[in-house]
């Protein structure tokens, strides 16, 4: 359960980072409130990027727990 929660928050962090970079560099009208709605799915590539970020967050949490100390799972 702890792994799922960690992966979820890491996924949120990655989505916010992607949304901030997307708005800063690729958005013609820079809307600062769009970061709050980081789950914008106007472009199909955004859905694919969020899917990749979810896989990255799950993999990173799993590898972090394997490398770290034994104990809580």
CA distance 50 to 8: 12
CA distance 73 to 64: 11
Per-residue pLDDT of the chain in tens (73 residues, 90 and over written 9): 777 777 778 877 877 777 777 766 666 555 555 544 545 555 666 667 777 877 887 787 776 655 555 555 4
Residue 36: its pLDDT value, please?
A: 47
Residue 44: its pLDDT value, please?
A: 64
Instruction: Name the residue ranges covered by the structural domains of the chain.
Output: 2-66
Residue 68: its pLDDT value, please?
A: 54
The answer to whether 10 touches 57, Cβ cutoff 8 Å, is yes
Residue 66: its pLDDT value, please?
A: 58
């Amino acid at each position: 359960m702890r792994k799922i929660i960690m992966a979820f928050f890491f996924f949120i962090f990655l989505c916010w980072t992607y949304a901030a970079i997307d708005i800063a560099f690729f958005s013609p009208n820079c809307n600062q409130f769009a970061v709050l709605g980081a789950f914008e799915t106007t472009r199909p590539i955004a859905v694919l990027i969020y899917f990749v970020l979810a896989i990255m967050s799950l993999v990173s949490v799993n590898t972090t727990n394997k490398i770290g100390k034994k104990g809580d799972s």
